[in-house]
Structure 1
């Protein structure tokens, strides 16, 4: 299950990275601008060169260096607009319940519960993905604490007039690319984000970074997540069982919302929320198929269970 989930996280995000570079509307005259694609390609090339020729601490800064390089080049190309920085204030504080006291309506509560379930599934997948990157499978307590933090952030978001938030799967790739695994770094990043929210001018500077710059670095991170998922699938035993079918159906169904965004448009809104997420769809299907084929199916007396079977290269097998 782990390898399939990590793989779909990476695959589902590549579309977002490409959209940042080329644009999201094919009818836009500026869609697929060659200068934007060239800029993103130059950033990717720089990240590759740093990883190839640099050593030590510099390698962990490859993505940041690529972003700084991209912003400088984009500014020379006239793609950076800092007009919003001048208009932004120096300090801003959100007023709790700006739109009025909270009201509890059954329909809204049910809808938000469905949304939170989807968020929880995706957050769980992100935690599993990070566990695969750091060679430490998350325990039930780890996942429970992570989901509790998700719930708390949802409460704070509602209090301060924002939408429900979720773990950002795009950042999973940073762990592999930068090799930075410290929780203190994550804490420092959280503090920086708080400052960006309290000081609008800083937030406006970050918002001024052009899409092709972010997209170039993002493609590296997203593709890295995909590669890590494929590496994890290498440990799965595909001989004499249905694991290949499980992976194939799960990934195929998960890619549908990515390659055909309007595929589920005629379904009820509740189902669209669930099936419209490639990560949620994959997690649900791989979980159910794994139960069907590897848990509930009687085994031959001489057949080893999935967690004891050996792969051809001698690695212990895992669930898909």
Structure 2
């Protein structure tokens, strides 16, 4: 479904001195991989490794310096925006910060149904109710504005909007890193359920190898703009071959302690993490509403 070959992306930094040439930053260095239909593909690496740059390129939001991106057999890396409508319908992105990705002037009903307008959907109101239920929000949420929701609820709205055009692939770019610890498990659990229910192909981007391990069947490890390890998730986790991957695996217990002692399995299942944070996982946590 998604094929990336020799992808490179470089940026020019502002000059520090008029006597020196502008420095070049190489965000991606010859990245290649494939994602097949139905796959759960994890992309893991530290901040600055090139993950978000790669997301922008595969979703058609940026253009590579060199290399190609093919989606569903069509090259998208050189197409102008006006010819990417098919990609907008079939590939959707859930970004890290729901506050920045939702228009504060729009009501939730307009945010979620906006992709349906381009599709000339026959029953946008009915689809809206269905999507709100799918992400665990009540029907009355449709008439409210983004600022009236908690961070976790805003991410649920972002997920509903992404699902509105019934995409074939969902790209989740650090979807829980900006959320409270007590809410992360709920959103991860919701994503896992929706990927299965909608039969989506998933590209999940994270700095946390433990979470990727329990959500994805294939894992690519990025470091300094390149993929340094790629393979079945269990093999990458249990038998890491690259020194950087071994460092990530060694850091997993530290990440667990930082998340109130919950295991990665707890994160995905959305149970004991909420309990250890002082919340009943079957009820609302603060302003957050859990998945029914």
TM-score bin (small chain): under 0.3
Larger radius of gyration: 1
Which structure is richer in relative contact order (CA contacts within 8 A, separation 6 or more)?
1
TM superposition score normalised by structure 2: 0.24
Q: Structure 1 or 2: larger strand share?
A: 2
TM superposition score normalised by structure 1: 0.23
Q: Structure 1 or 2: larger helix share?
A: 1
